[in-house]
Chain A
């Protein structure tokens, strides 16, 4: 073991000291230190703050859409006059949401939540802040590329936001931007959307390259692959998904941009008619090609959303059950299998496009196959709870809620993976409920848990526990109030993306016609609207708690307040530039909690083996 460690050349200790004692070290000013910083921790916080703002913005878009669905054509309360003032009377006449604006909100809610909210928060923010600390690295492998990644992300976000204010409004063809619809809608919002996406994809690619290179190259001495915390594994696989799945969407985006700007016909078929007239295009393109290229990213993207969340949950569960995670290797191999399989399941989003039975069978088989590693991960996390003396603090509560919520989201996805069921359920509220259960009470709960868990490392202060619990219970209850009814609505046949929430197809509007949407199903809209409002209210304690705790939270008085084993807790708080005073050496796996014969119930990864012959670390069987 030591021989292996010695092979690694020592870091340049001289600079490490200089960085540590503050006198010799030149403190960067505001611009270098906070805006154009190359420090992975600053960039992580930048990403986190920006992404949280976008999440809140996306949430408000959703609230307005829910109002429109429950009360079609009625002025939005409170925000209505503001909408009319900012977007003009064609978009929001008398403060009510026009159908075009509803479509814009729908497309942008999806885009913002996924590409500007959850992925930057889960992958870029947590990954940037935590991964180098966990593997014992001084920074990311390419700090300046890291900064460029954040800048491209901000630029992409600005382009997306600006598109609301151009004539015609933001993109209206859904977050999937299917051609020829996306090409035919007469708003330049789509061009903005495409340019914004290309910037965001560039940002993701730079980030992904950086993460993979960092994890491969900058692991501290002794940090072998199977000693990596599961969170690092999750981020590693996520980075690969981003690296290899995003470029096809970039290619597709470039082609759609050409379709709009240079009037090519990549995705426009011969004989295309728009608005009752033959479109003036050369034709010969393939609309299905867009869907293939889009979903080649789109499906791995689902795992980009969920894997980092699983990583966070795993860390927090291990820490708060005070025992090793159950089935670490199964977790790792399952994650790798998910990463691998996620590239060959994409066409299960396209069963309705007229797909042959052979290829549909292939994609059904791979889709069901990929549910196996997902279930293994969930099972491992569940079994890890068994027999632990669990600490029920706020991060742990969110993680415990993650398990059943992700379970509901995942299991309701199985019928969608089978073509016969999917053809009925496709494009209904059932799909909305399914993937929101995965992402909203799933991933976002894990992200909340991560914020509550790692904030003490970032600031040296804990967030308030009481208001954390208020936040948790409010979010937990109202998430379910919002999304559970959508399963019922979807199975009743209510389609998504209808600006009037299906009112035109309701039994109340067209009495006596079979297969209309019954009144009780329509009434659920009001139920969901109030649920969403309360969900919004439940976030207020979180926002106040977060900002209040930065200055006034309870001080931890320790670098390792949760008594965790991983390296991120073995640094000063907050970690200085360069992270570690000396190069950490890793002697053990990531989850050595409650090791028999050990003084404390946690053994940090960098704690050397005890010299005296310790009790056997693996407890003897048979009792």
Chain B
């Protein structure tokens, strides 16, 4: 949302009946940016598929590589398309908590499942 706001300084944000020609330029600017993001997303998808065909010696490294590309892809979508890069502090705080608890859920669960008592059938 803030991209648009900065792109049209001086006009009240989306006041009805505002000068349409003044917006047309901004719209095309915005459209171009979206196109770049879309192209970048397509590249990331291509890269992931390409990476999955690389010769490999075990899946761990390859999965990490592909997921890294996926993270870049997710960053593009979240950052630009969801406007997360220019969001309010409130939203960041909220997502920060969520990220922390998600990390706790996944990290602690996986750690707990692999920290089995020594000398049992699990270990």
Contact = CB atoms under 8 A, between A and B. Distances in A.
B115 A359 contact: yes
Interface in A309-365: 343-344, 347, 350, 354-359, 362
A358 B115 CA distance: 7
Contact of A356 (B97, B101, B116): B116
Interface stretch (B36-44, B57-65, B103-111): B103-111
Interface string A74-111: 00000000000000000000000000000000000000
A288 B122 CA distance: 12
Contacts of A288: 112-113
B117 A355 contact: yes
Contacts of A368: none
Contact of B97 (A216, A240, A248, A292): A240
A292 B118 CA distance: 21
Contact of B115 (A293, A296, A356): A356
A357 B117 contact: yes
Contacts of B116: 354-356
A158 interface: no
Interface residues of B, number: 17
A192 to B, nearest CB: 27
A344 B115 contact: no
Interface string A208-233: 00000000100000000000000000
Contacts of B117: 354-357
Interface in B83-123: 90, 97-98, 101, 104-105, 108-109, 111-113, 115-118, 120, 122
A379 interface: no
A209 to B, nearest CB: 11
Nearest to A240: B97
A244 interface: yes
Interface in A421-437: none
A197 to B, nearest CB: 18
A359 B111 contact: yes
A296 B112 contact: no
A286 interface: yes
A289 interface: yes
B105 A296 contact: yes
Interface residues of A, number: 22
A344 B113 CA distance: 15
Contacts of B122: 354
Given A286-B113, A344-B104, A347-B108, A244 B97 contact: yes
Contacts, number: 47
A355 B112 contact: yes
Main secondary structure of the interface of B (DSSP, over half): helix
Contacts of A286: 113
A585 to B, nearest CB: 23
- Which among B112, B120, B122 has the greatest number of chain A C-beta atoms within 10 A? B112
Contact of B120 (A245, A354, A362): A354
Contacts of B90: 216
Nearest to B98: A244
Nearest to B118: A356
A106 B116 CA distance: 31
Contacts of A362: 108
Interface in A347-390: 347, 350, 354-359, 362
Contacts of A245: 101
A344 B111 CA distance: 13
- Which among B104, B109, B120, B122 has the greatest number of chain A C-beta atoms within 10 A? B109
Contacts of A292: 109, 112-113
A355 B116 CA distance: 5
A86 B122 CA distance: 46
B109 A244 contact: no
A343 B115 contact: no
Contact of A248 (B105, B113, B115): B105
Contact of A343 (B104, B111, B112, B120): B104
A109 B108 CA distance: 31
Nearest to A212: B94
Contacts of B105: 248, 296, 343
A97 B77 CA distance: 58
Nearest to A245: B101
A248 B111 CA distance: 17
Interface in B9-66: none
Contact of B112 (A216, A240, A244, A359): A359
Contacts of B109: 289, 292-293, 296
Contacts of B98: 244
B30 to A, nearest CB: 28
A18 B110 CA distance: 58
A350 B116 CA distance: 12
B101 A244 contact: yes
Nearest to A350: B112
A359 B108 contact: yes
B42 to A, nearest CB: 31
B93 to A, nearest CB: 10
A343 B98 CA distance: 11
16 contacts: A216-B90, A245-B101, A286-B113, A292-B109, A292-B113, A296-B105, A343-B101, A343-B105, A354-B116, A354-B117, A355-B112, A355-B115, A356-B112, A356-B115, A357-B117, A359-B112
Given A248-B105, A288-B113, 11 more contacts: A240-B97, A244-B98, A289-B109, A292-B112, A293-B109, A355-B116, A356-B115, A356-B117, A357-B115, A359-B115, A362-B108
